[in-house]
Amino acid sequence: MQFLWPYNLWLLLVLPLLPALYVWLLRRRGRRALRLPSVHIARAAGGPHWRRHVPPALLFAALAVLLFALSRPVAPLTLPWAQTTILLAMDISRSMRVADVQPSRMVAAQEAAKTFLAEVPRQIEVGLVTFAGSAQVAQQATLDRASVVAAIDAIQMQYGTAIGNAIVVCLSELFPDHRLDVGEMTYGTRRARSLDERAKAEGAPKAFTPVAPGSHEAATIILLSDGRRTMGVDTLEAAKMAAERGVRIHVVGLGTPDGHAVLGEGAAMYLQLDEPTLRRMAEMTGGEYHHAGTAEALRSVYQHLGSRAQVSRRETELTALLALAAAVVLAGAVGLSLLWFGRVA
């Protein structure tokens, strides 16, 4: 255990004086009681003798805890994961139909995502963002796992791969006050001018100060892709936006790093996983990069991401917790005094 204000520990030296002060007050009260009328003596002596010492003892304990709290103790605690929202960003481009991962990349990704949902604590909200040539929210973050599973099962594959768009859409869900607009970022000033009236009506976007990558513990993004960006917002530009907001992006690469062509729906699809960019995206945001070449490997990656989200051991300041405990004990002392003696003794 460490202390942010260790010099306040000297205040604990006051504690031994308090019992001595209490004994002195009791003796002084006893001498005064000898001069009181007999009715007051009887009233003071009523009830079990030990009761009169309980409220002062509780008061002493509360003061001791408060004095200790003034040193601002910090201790490593194993706590439930602080994150409250996870957004799954899944690539639904046509290349996900390829069967190099059995029974297909898409089916393997869907099953792995469902396994992940079973691993994540129930108190954490999970949402789904799908992307191909564009990105959209398939299911807003919710505690209802059935709704997320239904959205995963309803995926329809499309053309194109806009990884950057998926990140921006995720960020717009996590930070609605920032009013991030994928269209404006994609189409530039012309699109911005068309949104001018709406922006004036809604007011200016909420300003934010960039924070350290990975420092926003209330949310994270898990992105799966089997290719490289072909359109939309630049991937690393979007990753920089996430890093500035402290949001981690864990990336799962499902594809062929060296690249080859297969025939799909009568047309050649060139498959190449852009590992350098995806790995860089994870590094920029403080996340992890995993490559999964088989369905079993993909399930293992998702299980790893789900299980590591269970607990987090971190340095936690105990001041507020100790102050709350002291307040409860103090309230108990006052309550018992009023109950037994009809006044705060």
Distant-in-sequence, close-in-space partners of 14: CB < 8 Å, separation ≥ 6: 67
Is the pLDDT at 293 greater than 60? The verdict is yes
The more confidently predicted of residues 29 and 298 is 298
Where residue 23 falls among pLDDT bands split at 50, 70, 90?
Answer: confident
pLDDT digits (tens, 9 = 90+) for 121-153: 888 899 999 999 999 999 999 999 999 999 999
Residue 257 and residue 170 share a domain: yes
Is the pLDDT at 163 greater than 50? The verdict is yes
Is the pLDDT at 286 greater than 50? The verdict is yes
CATH code of the domain in which 278 resides: 3.40.50.410
The confidence score (pLDDT) of residue 211 equals 93
Residue 242 and residue 127 share a domain: yes
Q: How many angstroms separate the CA atoms of 326 and 297, rounded?
A: 51
Residue 174 and residue 43 share a domain: no
Where residue 43 falls among pLDDT bands split at 50, 70, 90?
Answer: very low
Residue 189 and residue 269 share a domain: yes
Residue 109 and residue 249 share a domain: yes
The domain in which residue 229 lies consists of 82-309
Residue 272 and residue 184 share a domain: yes
Residue 20 and residue 116 share a domain: no
Cut 0.75: pTM above it:
no
Q: How many angstroms separate the CA atoms of 70 and 13, rounded?
A: 13
The more confidently predicted of residues 158 and 184 is 158
Domain count of the fold of the chain: 2
pLDDT digits (tens, 9 = 90+) for 188-204: 654 544 545 555 555 55
Residue 192 and residue 254 share a domain: yes
The confidence score (pLDDT) of residue 45 equals 46
Percent of the chain past pLDDT 90, that is, above it, reads 37
Residue 113 and residue 62 share a domain: no
Residue 216 and residue 252 share a domain: yes
Residue 251 and residue 193 share a domain: yes
